[in-house]
Amino acid sequence: MTAHRQDLDASDGRLAPGDTPGGEQAVPYLEVHDVGKQFGTFVALRRVNLAVRSGEFVTFLGPSGCGKTTLLRGIAGLDPPSTGRILQAGRDITFLPPAARDFGIVFQSYALFPNLTVTENVAYGLRGPAWPRRRVQERVAELLGLVGLADQAPKYPAQLSGGQQQRVALARALANEPGLLLLDEPLSALDAIVRQHLRQEIRSLQQRLGVTTIMVTHDQEEALGVSDRIVVMSRGRIEQIGTPAEVYDRPASPFVAGFIGHSSRFEAMVDSPAGSILAQGIRLQAEAARHLLYGSRVLVFVRPEHVALHPASAAPPGALPAQVTGLEFLGPVCRVSLQAGPLALMASAAPAELMDLAAEPSAQIAVTLPPERLMVFPEDV
Ligand SMILES: Nc1ncnc2c1ncn2[C@@H]1O[C@H](COP(=O)(O)OP(=O)(O)OP(=O)(O)O)[C@@H](O)[C@H]1O
């Protein structure tokens, strides 16, 4: 496990054109090579490259229509790619029918047989000479124990909650000990609390079993919370592959910076080779601008938690005067909308800090933007 962590940390999570993302380590369990998918003239996937290591939990994350389900369906053989190859455990599975592959899948809609009991649903795929009745009974009992449903065995799906039905679907997907577990938005039909609980259970079960897992989701909190690595997708392309910390702290593109987490965004121009930028007349320091061409246009993002707030009367040198334009109470933190001259910024701070600053709507305060925290991208990326 330690070595695995080091592997993950060693990658900087960025993609250069033509790279094989994540493929720099030991032989991957699943390899996606240059996969493309067209529906008529519509291109749903473009040259997707991906390598998933054995035992990894990888999430496909992106807005609606970005192609994440299409990619998962390609890996499952439900909708083969138009171009490229997919290898699992070294075997080319690109055009194998689903039944000839080694995976279990859980869909968003529970997809259980309504006329079969929990036991019968889980046992459904356990057929043939390898599965005498006694062994099936033992395996089903083991699986229902694993997903915490040992006492629900005789019930029918309609007698279970949504969360319980997804646990049955998970037990069924794992019944044959597949090499690969595919989860297609498995939690999106559930309410927030069940969803949060079940996602942690899925993660701990996955770690206990060590099964290589790919989950599709459009919920970034879900992806950040459970994944070893996240594949961020947009318009049929992979924008970045990285650990949750990498995609959050070091986004590879303006899309990723804007899609993952909250941020304020503004345009600027590189003003000097020493990392000074000019944003609508306001001069700021940005370490990430140091290597960029003098005079080039850039997009700048800053996370709310990195916008530092100060009293107007005790502003540090270089602070920008700012007016509070809105406050949103979120429990442990408040989100503060600010107007610093022409720049609209969002900050977050503890309620006690805001009380000390008397930061009420229309109050005047001051802000600083730490140079090492500004995420800067050339506009032509
Ligand atoms: N069978 C199909 N025929 C035509 N177009 C399709 C087909 N399946 C998917 N598409 C299109 O391909 C694109 C990607 O679809 P996909 O289902 O992979 O998106 P997604 O990222 O999973 O989105 P969502 O979160 O909304 O499910 C969409 O624009 C979709 O309309």
Q: What is the pLDDT of residues 106-152, one digit of tens each?
A: 998 868 999 999 999 999 989 888 899 999 999 999 999 999 999 99
pLDDT exceeds 50 at position 196 = yes
Asked if 85 and 33 count as a contact pair (C-beta separation under 8 A), the reply is yes
Answer yes or no: do 254 and 280 share one domain. no
Whether 77 is covered by a domain: the verdict is yes
Answer yes or no: do 229 and 275 share one domain. no
User: What pLDDT is stored for residue 381 in this prediction?
Assistant: 53
Q: Is 253 in the pocket of ligand 1 (CB under 6 A)?
A: no
pLDDT exceeds 60 at position 265 = yes
Cβ burial of 359 (10 Å; 0-12, 13-18, 19+) is buried
Most ligand 1 atoms within 8 A of CB, residue of 38, 42, 233, 235 to mutate: 42
Most ligand 1 atoms within 8 A of CB, residue of 43, 64, 70 to mutate: 70
Whether 14 is covered by a domain: the verdict is yes
User: What pLDDT is stored for residue 358 in this prediction?
Assistant: 85
- Mean of pLDDT values over 62-67: 94
Answer yes or no: do 246 and 266 share one domain. no
- Boundary-marking domain end, from 225, 258, 291: 258
> In the structure, what pLDDT confidence band is assigned to residue 26 with cuts at 50, 70 and 90?
low
How do residues 318-377 score in pLDDT, each as one tens digit? Answer: 899 999 999 999 988 999 999 999 999 999 999 999 989 888 899 999 999 999 999 999
- CA distance linking residue 323 with residue 364, whole number of Å: 5
Q: Indicate which atom in ligand 1 lies nearest the CA of residue 66.
A: 21
- Alpha-carbon distances, residue 234 vs 79, 84, 189 (angstroms): 20, 19, 23
Structure tokens at 98: 């689903």
Answer yes or no: do 345 and 304 share one domain. yes
Cβ burial of 71 (10 Å; 0-12, 13-18, 19+) is buried
Q: Is 68 in the pocket of ligand 1 (CB under 6 A)?
A: yes
Q: Is 42 in the pocket of ligand 1 (CB under 6 A)?
A: yes
Asked if 32 and 20 count as a contact pair (C-beta separation under 8 A), the reply is no
- CA distance linking residue 222 with residue 359, whole number of Å: 32
Answer yes or no: do 93 and 185 share one domain. yes
Answer yes or no: do 301 and 242 share one domain. no
- Boundary-marking domain end, from 240, 258, 276: 258
Structure tokens at 104: 């279990």
- CA distance linking residue 239 with residue 14, whole number of Å: 9
The CATH number assigned to the domain holding 352 equals 2.40.50.100
Q: Is 45 in the pocket of ligand 1 (CB under 6 A)?
A: no
Structure tokens at 269: 């121009």
Q: Is 30 in the pocket of ligand 1 (CB under 6 A)?
A: no
- CA distance linking residue 238 with residue 99, whole number of Å: 28
Whether 134 is covered by a domain: the verdict is no
Answer yes or no: do 213 and 357 share one domain. no
Smallest CA separation from ligand 1 atom 11, residue: 44
- CA distance linking residue 79 with residue 289, whole number of Å: 43
Distance from residue 296's CA to the centre of ligand 1 (Å) = 36
Q: Is 67 in the pocket of ligand 1 (CB under 6 A)?
A: yes
Which residues neighbour 282 within 8 Å (Cβ) at sequence distance 6 or greater?
320, 340, 341, 342, 343
User: What pLDDT is stored for residue 21 in this prediction?
Assistant: 46
- Mean of pLDDT values over 177-194: 91
Query: Across the strands, what pairs with 349?
Result: 334
- Mean of pLDDT values over 11-30: 52
Question: Could you tell me the strand order of the sheet in which 57-61 lies?
Answer: 103-106, 180-184, 212-217, 57-61, 229-234, 237-242
- Alpha-carbon distances, residue 144 vs 96, 167, 173, 212 (angstroms): 30, 8, 12, 20
Distance from residue 8's CA to the centre of ligand 1 (Å) = 30
Q: Indicate which atom in ligand 1 lies nearest the CA of residue 60.
A: 21
- Mean of pLDDT values over 93-116: 92
- CA distance linking residue 95 with residue 362, whole number of Å: 62
Distance from residue 65's CA to the centre of ligand 1 (Å) = 5
Which residues neighbour 203 within 8 Å (Cβ) at sequence distance 6 or greater?
57, 225, 226
Whether 140 is covered by a domain: the verdict is no
Best mean pLDDT range from 20-34, 190-204, 259-273:
259-273
Distance from residue 64's CA to the centre of ligand 1 (Å) = 8
Answer yes or no: do 182 and 302 share one domain. no
Answer yes or no: do 292 and 346 share one domain. yes
> In the structure, what pLDDT confidence band is assigned to residue 6 with cuts at 50, 70 and 90?
very low
Q: Is 62 in the pocket of ligand 1 (CB under 6 A)?
A: yes
Q: Indicate which atom in ligand 1 lies nearest the CA of residue 71.
A: 18
* Containing structural domain, residue 182: 2-102+178-258
Most ligand 1 atoms within 8 A of CB, residue of 38, 48, 64, 239 to mutate: 64
Distance from residue 122's CA to the centre of ligand 1 (Å) = 29
Asked if 185 and 217 count as a contact pair (C-beta separation under 8 A), the reply is yes
Domain count, the chain: 2
Q: Is 231 in the pocket of ligand 1 (CB under 6 A)?
A: no
Answer yes or no: do 228 and 319 share one domain. no
Answer yes or no: do 266 and 356 share one domain. yes
Q: Is 236 in the pocket of ligand 1 (CB under 6 A)?
A: no
Answer yes or no: do 288 and 241 share one domain. no
Distance from residue 362's CA to the centre of ligand 1 (Å) = 45
Q: Is 108 in the pocket of ligand 1 (CB under 6 A)?
A: no
Asked if 226 and 233 count as a contact pair (C-beta separation under 8 A), the reply is no
ipTM of the complex: 0.96
